[in-house]
Structure 1
Amino acid sequence: MKITSLGYLRVESPNAKEWATFGPEVLGLAVSEDLAGGPDTVSLTNDDRPGRLQISEGPHNRVQCIGWELPGAGDLADAVATLEQAGVTVERGTAEECRAAKVRQLVRFTDPAGFTHELFYGQLVVPGSFRPGRGTAGFVTRGQGLGHVVLVVPDLTESLDFFCTVLGFRVSDEIDFDGNTLVFLHVNPRHHSLAIMGIPGMRGLHHLMLQVEDLDDVGIAHQLVLDRQIPLAMTLGRHANDRMLSFYVRSPSGFEIEYGWGASTVDVPDQWVVTHMKSTSIWGHRPGDAPPPACLEPVSPPAS
């Protein structure tokens, strides 16, 4: 399967409208003006593709959908065949759903952990349209996509097999810490577009990473978070695997935003060597003052 990048993320949250200020004023995202998601949806982007991040009003903090980009119609047809051969039920998006997602075509399925994913091609691009909510040098997207997401899954082995064997993700590295294992997966030069962590009986979105072009933008955002007394989930630090310098801020919807700069890239995938580490960070990334995550939910064990 030829997934090329993380295309978009849709989230439900009772605090969706808080993103109308948090997104542009703190993170520097642009507000997408169209209301395809309705008046109760805040639509944001970090480049010339409108609506990459949508937060809709709802009773729970939870992921609605994760969108993955494919090169074209033929690749989407091949992906459907691969999913169906693996016994995965695939639902084709309606014309209205494709317009709302701003893509040519999409299909939808559920992974073993219960997350809904969409595969699509032809995401809308409006050249020169990105207008950040505050002064910023911009974000690293282009062929690397929106950023990366880290998911908590109840069965790490099952999810890892699905993402690698069925969807074609490749392992970048693995980190063991505090009794947990994090596996990082890439589909393009970004060190990881997805990471998964196994916690039995739990499922949810841990964080979305946004990468900026300029180190000063990390400092500016960090200062804004402190000035506005927004809870920090993790302090400034540098990761051991992708070498990103970042901090983690708790979003209005209970998951974290990793805001970072300077990550390493997977430039020659066929020569990439998977490493095993025992620490997530070289320095920093100490726990902040944020309460426990609010975007995790218990899941029932499979019927025996």
Structure 2
Amino acid sequence: MAYLGLVTPAVAEWRTFGSEILGLQLIEEGEGGVARFRMDEADCRLWVHPGEKNDIGYIGWQLTGEKEARELGEAVAAAGSAITRATPEEASARCVAGYYWFTDPAGFRHELSWGQYVTPNSFLPGWAMSGFRTGEQGMGHIVLLVPDLPAADKFYREVMGFHQSDCIRDGARALHFYHCNGRHHSLAIGSPGPGVRGAHHIMLEVNSLHDVGKAVDRCELLDVPVSKSIGCHTNDRMVSTYIFSPSVLRVEYGFGGVEIDDLWEPKTYSRTSIWGHKELRPDLPPAMIIES
């Protein structure tokens, strides 16, 4: 995952949240009041656009080059989703050489990009933290809520080419996790029920466990809700906490996720966490629901 675009009426709150809580670098405001954030040498990883309701604007995936993006776009088009190539101006606004975009069967916009703009030694964190684990593993991961889990699973694996990492089946809840590089998962999906579409969280991985604890302290200092206590997941072994963002979308803030290798064997887990991850704020909306 190369980059992400959010839509929310709470852009002003995100400017503070992104820099003072997450440690992202707030860079110059984009056209139309967009808040833009850097998290490494990439010129921009996160855009937060003004809008009347909370939404996922777009998910940017980085491919090796234009040829690979075009070939994947052709596979998506053959499966029934219309593909559009970005204009040079649109590509420049995303800080990439180019991209193709489409809307998947669940209603999410994806951008197949190449040539992400980078400026070495340019990242200045919003507070004194160690930085983020990105590089070849990309920005992090996103967990989407889809109206039809089997259909979405088939599309992401058979059309987009994601590889199954594992599954979690915890009571009535089923979650599918997918990788496309060394990160345990760049994408995960679940289904709260027919007709429900949204997102549960995005994950940003930091370079030090201390930064996870310090972020929790900063949440208390700045009166930002922590959704779940620090815990360790069963599948990717990430030690993390969940922070409630101004747009309802949770941000998993973690350290120490395992890496996928060529000998990886998918498993099915019966619970999400080995320890911790206790729900601290049951009064908050459980997820960012876009449509239901």
TM-score grouping bracket, smaller chain normalisation: over 0.9
CA distance in 1 between counterparts of 2:38 and 2:201 reads 16
Report what 1:263 is aligned to: 257
CA distance in 1 between counterparts of 2:145 and 2:275 reads 24
Alignment of 1:118-197 (within 5 A): 118-197=111-190
CA distance in 1 between counterparts of 2:286 and 2:45 reads 23
Partner amino acid, structure 2, of 1:235: S
Partner amino acid, structure 2, of 1:295: M
Aligned-pair CA distance for 1:228:
2.1
Q: Is the 8 A contact 1:13 1:56 kept in 2?
A: yes
Aligned-pair CA distance for 1:267:
2.2
Instruction: Return the match for 1:277 from 259, 269, 273.
Output: 269
Query: What do residues 119-175 of structure 1 show as CA deviations (whole Å, max 9, x unaligned)?
Result: 010010011100101001110000000000000001010001000000000010100
Query: What do residues 60-81 of structure 1 show as CA deviations (whole Å, max 9, x unaligned)?
Result: 1000100000001111221122
Report what 1:71 is aligned to: 64
Report what 2:225 is aligned to: 231
Q: Is the 8 A contact 2:199 2:287 kept in 1?
A: no
Q: Is the 8 A contact 1:253 1:294 kept in 2?
A: no
Alignment of 1:1-304 (within 5 A): 6-33=1-28, 35=29, 37-199=30-192, 200-268=194-262, 271-289=263-281, 291-293=284-286, 295-299=288-292
Query: After TM superposition, where is structure 1 displaced by more than 4 Å over at least 4 residues in a row?
Result: none
CA distance in 2 between counterparts of 1:178 and 1:230 reads 31
Aligned identity (percent) is 42
Compare 187-196 and 74-83 and name the one that shifted more. Answer: 74-83
Q: Is the 8 A contact 2:54 2:290 kept in 1?
A: no
> Tell me, what secondary structure is at the counterpart of 1:96?
helix
Q: Is the 8 A contact 2:131 2:207 kept in 1?
A: yes
CA distance in 1 between counterparts of 2:201 and 2:286 reads 10
> Tell me, what secondary structure is at the counterpart of 2:93?
helix
So what's the TM-score if we normalise by structure 1?
A: 0.93
Query: What do residues 74-98 of structure 1 show as CA deviations (whole Å, max 9, x unaligned)?
Result: 1122112212222221011111111
Partner amino acid, structure 2, of 1:266: I
Judged with a 3 Å threshold, the aligned counterparts in structure 2 of structure 1 residues 276 and 16 are, in CA distance, closer, same or farther, namely: same
> Tell me, what secondary structure is at the counterpart of 1:76?
helix
CA distance in 1 between counterparts of 2:287 and 2:47 reads 18
Aligned-pair CA distance for 1:39:
4.5
CA distance in 1 between counterparts of 2:4 and 2:270 reads 30
Q: Is the 8 A contact 2:81 2:105 kept in 1?
A: no
Partner amino acid, structure 2, of 1:122: G
CA distance in 2 between counterparts of 1:294 and 1:152 reads 9
Unaligned runs of 5+ in 1: 1-5, 300-304
CA distance in 1 between counterparts of 2:261 and 2:287 reads 36
Aligned-pair CA distance for 1:294:
5.8
Aligned-pair CA distance for 1:298:
2.8
Unaligned runs of 5+ in 2: none
CA distance in 2 between counterparts of 1:49 and 1:225 reads 26
> Tell me, what secondary structure is at the counterpart of 2:220?
helix
